[in-house]
Amino acid sequence: MPLTRLHWRIGLPFAAFVLAGSIALLLWMAWMVAREERGQFESLARTNAEFINNVKLPSSERMARQLSEVIGVHVTFRNTGEFIPALNPRLSPESWQAFLQTPADGKCRVISSWETVAVALHSGDDLLLARPQLPFLQSLKHWRTAAALSIFWSSALIVAWLVGRGLVLPLRHLAAKLPDIEKPEPLDLPEALRTDEIGDVARAFVRTREALQKEREQRINAERLAVLGRMTASLAHEIQNPVAAIKMHAQLWGNENESAVTIASEAGRIESLVNQWMFLSKPEPPAMSEVDLNKILLATITTHRPQLEHAQVKAELSLDEKMLIQGDQRRLQQVFSNLTINAIQAMPRGGALRIVAQLQDEHVQISFIDSGKGFSNTALEHFAEFFYSEKEGGMGIGLSVANEIIKAHHGELRAANNTSGGACVTVILPAPHSFLIPNS
């Protein structure tokens, strides 16, 4: 398996750490065992010296030999400058001299790999004990060393398991989910709930997936628009001429003829629909000029008066100011017409439509308030989205076109539900003070 894999990148340094820790622990335990052994050797020397003092044993070579055989270490007495050897520890002359000159303070000292302790006796003599220094390997065989190593290695295994479970496994799960990044199905990614760096990676993965899906949807919509654009370009010109002829003949009948007015109104609807399709296929920047919003709103109501009466919808205009702004009159009338038609269709059993135009700082706010059932939560979420419509037979382009036109005027289109019921769609347009003329 390649050493570049994550578990190798983590495991090898961790194994090196465990090895270094084991060596350090062994050295420390060897030092601790040697220290404990020296302490016991010092205690042995003091105990034997106390025994000799209490029993008043003679400081003789025979006594030294007997003590050596009993306690298993080399014993000798130092008596007024003369030395009584029991067992020669086989030291070099220099080391033997240093051994015999050991201070009688009861402390263990190391002389040429030998440990020695000297203790003063009440008789004026000194008791000297010597033994070979404990080998390093023998100190490693102590039960404390084995216990310490077992605890250390067990802890290392637990830490390794926790690291593998908390780091390697989540990353493997994330890697396994990467092929699903373009699938539309819901993604089960519990790592996104974590608060550490893995959680950051998982959340970035989720955001990237959402961005890709959004981009895919936008691409699909763009492809739809491209197809619709080609269709619209060919159909619009074919429809405009007969519609214009129908409107002209209806107007020749005169406004007294109710059928002629209805025909002209319906022909106007067809013409508006064609204009919307033309806008989708070939959007153009607005032809800006000074326009009177009040006149456009009044003309919109007049145009749709037959539809309002047929649907038993009472329209009410509240225009506080005479508002002159810079805009495209034909496009703005198309927006207001779309919003009026949507309001009428939202009240199939009749109702009331209030159109309120207000001045707020440097903005004009025109609200279309109906008494229908209002927007659903889904409709509010997808408001003004191309090809989305909850109406039966709706194509989902009216509000989308209106929104694009208002954006082209550097404005904003908003939607909400009234607390008392019904929907409210608001058009916000910039209106410099130089174009706001109050009614005289």
Identify the pLDDT of residue 355.
93
Give the residue, 248 or 319, on which the prediction is more confident. 319
- Whole-model pTM: value is 0.45
Identify the pLDDT of residue 392.
63
pLDDT in tens, 41-64: 889 989 998 988 888 888 888 888
Residue 5 pLDDT > 70: no
- For residues 125-142, give the mean pLDDT: 75
- For residues 225-248, give the mean pLDDT: 69
Identify the pLDDT of residue 426.
93
Q: Where are the domains of the chain?
A: 6-144, 184-282, 286-437
Residue 435 pLDDT > 50: no
Average pLDDT, the chain: 78
CATH class of 286-437: alpha beta
What Rg value do the Cα atoms of the chain yield, rounded?
50
pLDDT in tens, 385-399: 877 777 765 666 778
Identify the pLDDT of residue 367.
93
Identify the pLDDT of residue 429.
92
Identify the pLDDT of residue 80.
57
pLDDT tier, 172 (very low <50, low <70, confident <90, very high otherwise): confident
- For residues 340-354, give the mean pLDDT: 90
Give the residue, 66 or 273, on which the prediction is more confident. 66
Residue 370 pLDDT > 90: yes
pLDDT tier, 18 (very low <50, low <70, confident <90, very high otherwise): confident
Residue 26 pLDDT > 70: yes
pLDDT tier, 9 (very low <50, low <70, confident <90, very high otherwise): low
Residue 74 pLDDT > 80: yes
**Which of 133-142, 315-324, 326-335 is most confident?**
326-335
Give the residue, 233 or 391, on which the prediction is more confident. 391
Q: By percentage, how much of the chain surpasses pLDDT 90? A: 11
pLDDT tier, 412 (very low <50, low <70, confident <90, very high otherwise): very high
- For residues 186-209, give the mean pLDDT: 74
Identify the pLDDT of residue 6.
56
Identify the pLDDT of residue 1.
46
Describe the strand order of the beta sheet including 82-85 as a list of residue ranges: 82-85, 74-79, 126-132, 114-120, 109-111
The CATH fold of domain 184-282: Helix Hairpins (1.10.287)
- For residues 176-189, give the mean pLDDT: 70
Best CATH choice for the domain 6-144 from the list 3.40.50.720, 3.40.50.10490, 2.130.10.10, 3.30.450.20? 3.30.450.20
